[in-house]
A and B are shown apart, each in its own frame.
Chain A
Amino acid sequence: MRHLLPALIGLAILVLCSPAQAFDQATATALSVGDSDTRIDALNKVIAAGDAAALPFLEKLIGDGVKTSGDKVFVVDGDKAVDPVTGQAAELPSDADDVVNSNRMRNEIGGAIAALKLSSPDRAVRLEAAQSLQSGDADESKLPLVKAAEGKEKDPQIRDMLGQVEANIELTSSDKSLRLAAVKMLAESSSPNVKEMLSTRLAPDGETDPEVKAAITAAIKAVDARLSRYALVGQIFTGVSLASILLLAALGLAITYGLMGIINMAHGELMMIGAYSTYVVQNLFRAYLPDAFQFYLVAALPVAFLVTAGVGMAIERLVLRHLYGRSLETLLATCGISLFLMQLVRTLFGAQNVGVENPEWMSGSVSLAASLVLPYNRIVIIGFSVAVLGFMWYLLTKTRLGLFVRAVTQNRTMARCVGVPTARIDTMAFGLGSGIAGLAGVALSQIGNVGPDLGQHYIVNCFMVVVLGGVGQLAGTVLASLGLGIVSKFLEGVTGAVIAEIMVLVFVVVFIQRRPQGLFAMTGRSAEA
């Protein structure tokens, strides 16, 4: 009840004010000071006036760039404060407070900005504004602006969008034919918001006319069908995305464990080192090349590869070399190395996670439909894992090094007899596997936490993928990661994450019992090696 009085006053102001009134100090104060209700009233007044002069101020307001002191309002830019209306520099009092926007305020201001932007001469700005209004910022107060904009709009795409926005608003109109038309229009939509809006109209206090009701039910059905189609595509995408991460993590292991037979428990820590290399490169770029910051990830790839390959080669030379053929000792030694590496990183960088920022081109998402949003970082990582796979395939099958690696793993004695430097090949192969783990680390730094424990979360999955796919088989690794990724994502959708994880593990155990050699078995003479 205590909101009623300010609301009434706001309404009175709304009625009294002439629409032509320009943006002034009083409006700025009303927008910034007081509780949410009075501020929203002031906002609606600005919308009703269609006053584009208020736009810069509103954008500052939503970006937390406005301070108030008593009734005075200041726009703050860095250390300087300016008057919101005249734009002249002003002295910022020391007791000035930030204007705090709640989510509700931010929603309203965002809607107001979008509505005002509809009259922009720039098509891209108008399009963005229409999209924003379509995704739910529209209400009755913006109808006149939307209508006016639709009348002037020449671009068919934007006009269609505005038509839908209008339909959203007119759904509650008192004219039955208008409502029917609105429902028909909305049936074309594939936005979850529209479904929500339509369903709320079906509630007892909503639509009363049976004809419109039937139309709404049909419209919901149409929207639902479209939504579930998109949901399926979305689920497959998340499955493939998980698969790409599993694949990246497991590819290095496919060489060190699959081809060379080394049970490398420190594989996860090599990924962790790759991720920390990314962090270091990021910091170097931030400090020395802030202009090229967006590309630090590209520079991080070779760095991470070389660093982890170096660490891997050192491990091979110093420790593993002496343990070939003794897999139990190898396992214990690499376990120790993994602890050593974790503690080393903890000492160097601290026990806490470090922040790795996504470059701008990897943040955000492409929206194929309102309900189907594919994040850029996932898309990039899927592409990246395919590229790494291609790189490895080329290296193993088309180069001299690859030939030697395969020769050594298939028959070490024979390879040495014909002059292959087996010791050096072992080092190189282990370095390659480690380097690829480093590349995986770069990718993981973009989607998860970078901390000393990073590797621990992935090591079990890595072995699972390699064993499931069949030891020593690249194609098996690819298929196993795809299978595991998609299956676990579908299960998660049905049973929740906790049960899904258990079910996947049970499935793998049963599968390995039935088929210990994995999806693809090694055949021929090399199988005995």
Chain B
Amino acid sequence: MNRKFLLQSFSALTLAAAAAFATPAMAEDGTIKVGILHSLSGTMAISETVLKDVALMTIDEINAKGGVLGKKLEPVVVDPASDWPLFAEKARQLLSKDKVAVTFGCWTSVSRKSVLPVFKELDGLLFYPVQYEGEELERNVFYTGAAPNQQAIPAVEYLMSKDGGGAKRFVLLGTDYVYPRTTNKILRAFLHSKGITDENIMEEYTPFGHSDYQTIVANIKKFSTGGKTAVVSTINGDSNVPFYKELGNAGLKATDVPVVAFSVGEEELRGVDTKPLVGDLAAWNYFMSLKNPVNEEFKKKWAAYAKAKGLPSAGKPLTNDPMEATYIGINMWKQAVEKAGTTDVDKVIPAVGGQQFAAPDGFTVEMDPKNHHLHKPVFIGEVKADGQFNVVWKSPGPIKAQPWSPYIPGDEGKKDEPDSK
């Protein structure tokens, strides 16, 4: 749907760049302010910087086509610097000082939890683009990343299948914080339901930034003597590099003990020598290597944008799942505003539900009318030598999110829609 206007959109880049850094005081009348809340420094900068860029690209594209409701979008970029309390502060600034109509942002669950009270108090609207652990459903938030049943559970099912190696024992390995802990809690309950007992599950956590995985890899090796084993990794951030290096060096091949990761995508593999990782898996709702016209166009747009802006990644432009989710989120918000005829949060929220968008994952994804989560397809990919993924399994179609996991006791009977205000 956006194809024709591709060229025009680039000619408008310079104009939008100026808008991106304009101070609120200079803002002309007749623009709609949009907040972008991603860490541009600190440990999460590695992942979040591209989300800021892809958001700006999408906004440029929308502006080039005439904006929303006849008004241009004006991005307000702030840097919460990977500092969780600062996220809340910056969110407050966006909502009360800049008076943004909507905010796109956050990566880690802890940053999302930190801004939630602010969005509720000031009745803001947040689009959150990253896979997360579920167990949350807020009126002021739309989740365009995957819930556990759209990523973790299909991945484990694949590992248990014949093609996935028929794993009988599982190592649940993660960084020590809320997302891995909750995901592993869900997975453990899921494995129990499949008849896998506790003695066949090994759960291990490492601190953020852990870099010596020798002991853990040795333990995995020992554990794998008890039967066909697979590793489910929720290791986050750059600890993945030493982990995979150690795996390769210890001779633990993907054909013996496959590793499926939930936080490793194209961007994370950029700094890694991928040769030893060939055959290891990742589960996402989008891969750069997907072959469909929408994705080809998305990749082309991103490459051209990165080049035009002189981004450091322009030499090797990569797209990944959270970038796609950001792109979908902004476009859905635009459609909802057009449907509601206003940017008023209370009117936009009901209009977002049911929006459809032809996404780069090759499907027309839909925002669930009630539960604020996207219906997304699931892909499982194997790492190739060039850092891209070969899709070895995909869900037949988009799957509806279950933010309240049926595998967590106490979640039964929770409403599949947020409480109204």
Residues A367 and B251 in contact in the complex (CB < 8 Å), given A352-B312, A489-B214: yes
Smallest Cβ-Cβ distance to B212: which chain A residue: A242
**Residues of B in contact, count (CB < 8 Å):** 58
Q: Cβ of B215 and Cβ of A238 under 8 Å apart?
A: yes
Comparing A25-33, A192-200, A421-429, A475-483, the segment that makes contact with chain B is A192-200
Find out whether the CB atom of B276 lies under 8 angstroms from the CB atom of A363. Answer: yes
The answer to whether A102 and B204 touch across the interface, beta carbons within 8 angstroms, is: no
What residues on B are CB-neighbors of A492 within 8 Å?
215-216
A457 and B211: CB pair below 8 A?
A: yes
**Is there contact, CB below 8 Å, between A497 and B215?**
yes
Minimum distance in angstroms from A319 CB to a CB of chain B: 24
Residue of B49, B242, B250, B385 with most chain A CB atoms under a 10 A cut-off: B250
Task: Please name all residues of chain B whose beta carbon is closer than 8 Å to the beta carbon of A103 when the two chains form the complex.
Answer: 164-165, 254-255, 258, 279, 281, 382
| Inter-chain contacts of A450 with B (CB < 8 A) | 271
Check B197 for interface membership: any CB of A closer than 8 A: no
Contacts of B215 in A (CB 8 A): 235, 238, 489, 492-493, 497
Contact with B along A344-383 (1 / 0, CB 8 A): 0010001111110110000111010001010111100000
Most interface-central of A192, A241, A449 (chain B CB within 10 A): A449
**B45, B165, B206, B241: which contacts A351 (Cβ < 8 A)?**
B45
Distance (whole angstroms) from the CB of A121 to the closest CB of chain B: 27
Q: Does A84 contact B (CB under 8 A)?
A: no
B217 smallest CB distance to A (angstroms):
9
Nearest CB in chain A to that of B166: its residue: A104
What is the CB-to-nearest-CB distance from B39 to chain A, in angstroms, rounded to a whole number? 10
Which residues on B sit within 8 Å (CB–CB) of A107?
A: 165, 255
B393 to chain A, nearest CB (A): 8
B273 and A355 within 8 A (CB): yes
Q: How far apart sit A241 and B226, CA to CA, in the bound complex (Å)?
A: 27
Question: In residues 464-503 of chain A, which contact B (Cβ within 8 Å)?
Answer: 489, 492-493, 496-498, 501
A352 touches B214 (CB 8 A): no
Interface of A is mostly: helix
CA distance A448 to B243 in the complex (A): 9
**Contacts of A100 on B, CB cut-off 8 Å?**
382, 390-392
Q: Give every chain A residue within 8 A of B224 (Cβ-Cβ).
A: 192, 196
- Residue in B162, B226, B256, B271 whose beta carbon sits within 8 Å of that of A449 in the complex: B271
Instruction: Judge whether A355 and B270 touch: CB under 8 Å.
Output: yes
Given A104-B164, A193-B225, decide whether A376 and B258 contact each other with a Cβ distance below 8 A: no
Closest to A377 in B: B249
B207 on the A face (CB < 8 A):
yes
Contacts of B226 in A (CB 8 A): 196, 199
Is B218 engaged at the interface, CB distance under 8 Å to the other chain? Answer: yes
Closest to B248 in A: A363
In the complex, chain A residues whose CB is within 8 Å of the CB of B385: 64
A98-B390, A103-B279, A373-B250 known, 6 other contacts, Cβ within 8 Å: A64-B384, A102-B163, A353-B271, A363-B248, A373-B249, A375-B246
Measured CA separation A356–B127 after assembly (Å): 36
Which residue in chain B gives the minimum CB-CB distance to A241? Answer: B214
Q: A200-B227, A489-B214 are in contact. Are A453 and B43 (CB under 8 A)?
A: yes
Whether A375 contacts B250 in the complex (CB less than 8 A), given A196-B227, A231-B222, A497-B207, comes out as yes
Query: B382–A353 contact, CB under 8 A?
Result: no
Does A80 make an interface contact (CB < 8 A)? no
From the candidates B218, B256, B312, B382, name the one contacting A235 in the complex (CB within 8 A). B218
**B307 at the binding interface (Cβ < 8 Å):** no
Chain B's closest residue to A493 (CB) is: B215
In chain A, residues 218-275, which have Cβ atoms closer than 8 Å to a Cβ of chain B?
A: 227, 231, 234-235, 238, 241-242, 245
* CB-CB contacts below 8 Å: A103-120 with B: 103-104, 106-107, 110
Chain B 222-251, CB-CB to A under 8 Å as 1, else 0, gives: 101111000000000010011001101111
- Which chain B residues border A377 with CB–CB below 8 Å? 245, 249
Q: Which residues of A contact B222 (CB under 8 A)?
A: 192, 227, 231, 371
Nearest 9 CB-CB pairings of A with B: A375-B249, A192-B225, A353-B271, A238-B214, A350-B312, A351-B45, A107-B255, A497-B206, A492-B215
